[in-house]
Chains A and B, each alone.
Chain A
Amino acid sequence: MFSQQLVNGITLGSTYALIAIGYTLVLGVLKKLNLAHGELFMVGTFAGIGMAAAGAPIVVSVGAAFLFAGLVAVAIERTCFYPLRNASFLSPMLTTIAFGILLQNVATQIFGSDPSRFPDTGRSVELHIAGLTISALQVAILVTAFGLMIAIDVLIRHTRWGIALRATSDDPETAAQHGINPSRVTITTFFVSGALAGVAGVLTTLVYSQVTPLIGIRQGLIGMVAMVIGGLGNLRGAMIGGLAVGLLETLNDAYFNAGYRDLVIFSVFFAFLVLRPEGLFPAPGGRS
């Protein structure tokens, strides 16, 4: 049923949006991509699974993912970006690839390369609304993901932190000369970017059941697809891009062929990059 697929697609897409937001935030302040961003999704997932295995409730898993992935993101900034701030823009990006592989291998040593999962959380309550079947878990995911999206949108638009972040994105030197410490803005931006990816990891894994330490590779790329489709550098664009990719994936699986999923998604990605690189919603003021 189509409307059921829409709900499923938006649920999945909301987690992709959380990943895409992180890329966009970092791209905004540094004009560089964090290519270990997908690994933050993975790190958050395993932090969440670790807590759950120790008997903690899901809320604690989500909190742990938020905090731990956020801190790993700060570690990425301090080791891959900050020391290389005057090097070629390629150096930190290549360094993040190395860092990402490092994280994959550390996770493999700890959790093994077999799929891990959350301990059985019991049969989820299902809600029947207007002919749609929505699990309570799905509702929790939608509420969490959209809650975070709205929160980040409000933070960026209405708090001084958000204004400082936008000012630093526009012109870091002028921002610094008005007392804004660029390092502090960058660190907090990385923390938020990692935290959102980490939460996305737990939410996704709760629904799609299992993960390996290599999950970050695809999720990281999907987040990038969402960012490009939404419009490079545009925060709300990243959110819409995430939802669009989630819908595309779900509709493809339902009406076409799940085996062609990534072929379809990455064909669309390719087409956007070649034909409409500015995405659906180009950043205002030509910012990129």
Chain B
Amino acid sequence: MTPLLELRNVSKRFGGLTAVDAVSFSIEAGELVGLIGPNGAGKTTLFNIIAGVYRPSQGQLLHRGDAISMLDPARIAKRGIARTFQNIRLFQSLTVLEHLLVAQTCRGLGLLAELNPLVSGAERTRRKAAMELLELVGLENRHDEIAIHLPYGAQRRLEIARALATSPELLLLDEPAAGLNDTETVGLREMLDALRAQHYTILLVEHDMKLVMRVCSRILVLEFGKLIASGAPAEIQVNPEVINAYLGAEA
């Protein structure tokens, strides 16, 4: 079967610095894959390459077998690849609900559906779907607030809901647990389990090892832009190279 996402020998150089160095891996539909590595290992750069923000200096990206390395970010999003940001990037003048309404235009009905009486039924369904996503992340009672006024944990949840509103099949989550307290992290874990049960495919960058080991079926390890290991959590935990590069540094 064709993998949902495949990277073949992907590199990204910034001047003399090689941020991502000949990385190859693939993700099958329905997997929840962890991507770990020390700070500066190139995880966010890799996300930016997949999301179309950066063109790879070399290598191929394939989505369901189609080459997507040359597509712009809007087209990548329309193909069903959505992301969240390590540094939260909400729209400063938009309300909570508006974040989802705008993301929903990614696929399906266009920007002026509200004015088109022919699609008013579909439009109502879509608004209802947006409210349901807010319920999923526990923000339904704050839908009218300006999003950047929400507390930090709620902003992280809204970013996930916004990504889901694009109707993605692949979710790229960039450190969703960063800055969350223990209760919020448990909530996040439950949400990840729920998303997995709904057959979302997820690539998760995260520093919270307990979370990663618990929810991921497979883990990729990056160090200095290179993929140094790939395997089940139990294998990764005992992989000497990984322990040396990453886990060992903390022990």
**A-side interface residues toward B, CB under 8 Å?**
158-161, 163-164, 166-167, 169-171, 173-182, 184, 188, 284-285, 287
Q: Known contacts A179-B74, A180-B74, A180-B106; is A166 also within 8 Å of B111 by CB?
A: no
Q: A166 vs B115: C-alpha distance in the bound complex, in angstroms? A: 18
Q: How far is the CB of A221 from chain B (nearest CB, A)?
A: 28
For this complex, 20 residue pairs linking A to B, each with C-beta atoms less than 8 Å apart, are: A160-B104, A166-B91, A166-B93, A170-B91, A170-B94, A174-B91, A176-B77, A177-B53, A177-B73, A177-B82, A178-B106, A179-B103, A179-B107, A180-B74, A180-B105, A184-B111, A285-B93, A285-B146, A285-B148, A287-B92
Q: How far is the CB of B22 from chain A (nearest CB, A)?
A: 25
Q: A214 vs B208: C-alpha distance in the bound complex, in angstroms? A: 65
The verdict on B157 contacting chain A, using a C-beta distance below 8 Å, is no
Q: How far is the CB of A120 from chain B (nearest CB, A)?
A: 38
B92 engages A159 (CB within 8 Å): no
The residue in chain A whose Cβ has the minimal distance to the Cβ of B76 is A177
The residue in chain B whose Cβ has the minimal distance to the Cβ of A184 is B111
Q: Known contacts A174-B89, A179-B103; is A161 also within 8 Å of B111 by CB?
A: yes
**Which residues in A have their C-beta under 8 angstroms from that of B135?**
none
Q: Which of A164, A180, A188 has the most CB of B within 10 A?
A: A180
Among B53, B74, B93, B166, the residue within 8 A (CB) of A169 is B93
A175 engages B111 (CB within 8 Å): no
Q: How far is the CB of A130 from chain B (nearest CB, A)?
A: 37
**Which residues in B have their C-beta under 8 angstroms from that of A188?**
111
A159 engages B77 (CB within 8 Å): no
Among B53, B72, B77, B93, the residue within 8 A (CB) of A287 is B93
A160 engages B113 (CB within 8 Å): yes
The verdict on B12 contacting chain A, using a C-beta distance below 8 Å, is no
Q: Known contacts A176-B72, A176-B73; is A166 also within 8 Å of B107 by CB?
A: no
The verdict on B85 contacting chain A, using a C-beta distance below 8 Å, is yes
Within 103-152 of B, Cβ neighbours of A (below 8 Å) are at 103-107, 110-115, 146, 148
- 8 closest Cβ contacts across the A-B interface? A179-B106, A179-B77, A161-B111, A170-B91, A176-B73, A163-B102, A178-B103, A177-B73
A177 engages B94 (CB within 8 Å): no
**Which residues in A have their C-beta under 8 angstroms from that of B31?**
none
B83 engages A177 (CB within 8 Å): yes
The verdict on B162 contacting chain A, using a C-beta distance below 8 Å, is yes
Q: Known contacts A159-B114, A180-B102; is A167 also within 8 Å of B107 by CB?
A: no
**Which residues in A have their C-beta under 8 angstroms from that of B111?**
159-161, 164, 184, 188
**Which residues in B have their C-beta under 8 angstroms from that of A173?**
53, 73
**Which residues in B have their C-beta under 8 angstroms from that of A164?**
102, 105, 111
Q: A170 vs B91: C-alpha distance in the bound complex, in angstroms? A: 6
Q: A184 vs B75: C-alpha distance in the bound complex, in angstroms? A: 13
Among A174, A178, A284, the residue within 8 A (CB) of B93 is A284
**Which residues in A have their C-beta under 8 angstroms from that of B227?**
none
The residue in chain B whose Cβ has the minimal distance to the Cβ of A162 is B111
Q: How far is the CB of A282 from chain B (nearest CB, A)?
A: 13
**Which residues in A have their C-beta under 8 angstroms from that of B101?**
160, 163
Q: A66 vs B46: C-alpha distance in the bound complex, in angstroms? A: 46
Q: How far is the CB of A151 from chain B (nearest CB, A)?
A: 10
Q: A169 vs B93: C-alpha distance in the bound complex, in angstroms? A: 9
Q: Known contacts A173-B53, A179-B106; is A167 also within 8 Å of B91 by CB?
A: yes
B92 engages A178 (CB within 8 Å): no
A182 engages B91 (CB within 8 Å): no
A163 engages B78 (CB within 8 Å): no
Among B74, B85, B92, B146, the residue within 8 A (CB) of A182 is B74
Q: How far is the CB of A8 from chain B (nearest CB, A)?
A: 34
The residue in chain A whose Cβ has the minimal distance to the Cβ of B114 is A159
Q: How far is the CB of B77 from chain A (nearest CB, A)?
A: 4
**Which residues in A have their C-beta under 8 angstroms from that of B112?**
159-161
**Which residues in B have their C-beta under 8 angstroms from that of A178?**
77, 82, 102-103, 106, 162-163, 165-166
Interface membership of chain B positions 164-186, coded 1 if the CB is closer than 8 angstroms to chain A and 0 otherwise: 01100000000000000000000
Q: How far is the CB of A23 from chain B (nearest CB, A)?
A: 18
**Which residues in A have their C-beta under 8 angstroms from that of B165?**
178
The residue in chain A whose Cβ has the minimal distance to the Cβ of B99 is A167
Q: A180 vs B105: C-alpha distance in the bound complex, in angstroms? A: 7
Q: Known contacts A159-B115, A160-B102; is A179 also within 8 Å of B93 by CB?
A: no
**Which residues in A have their C-beta under 8 angstroms from that of B103?**
178-179
Q: How far is the CB of A28 from chain B (nearest CB, A)?
A: 10
Q: Which of A163, A164, A179, A184 has the most CB of B within 10 A?
A: A179
The verdict on B193 contacting chain A, using a C-beta distance below 8 Å, is no
Q: How far is the CB of B128 from chain A (nearest CB, A)?
A: 15
The verdict on B51 contacting chain A, using a C-beta distance below 8 Å, is yes
Q: A171 vs B53: C-alpha distance in the bound complex, in angstroms? A: 14
Q: A160 vs B82: C-alpha distance in the bound complex, in angstroms? A: 19
Q: A182 vs B78: C-alpha distance in the bound complex, in angstroms? A: 13
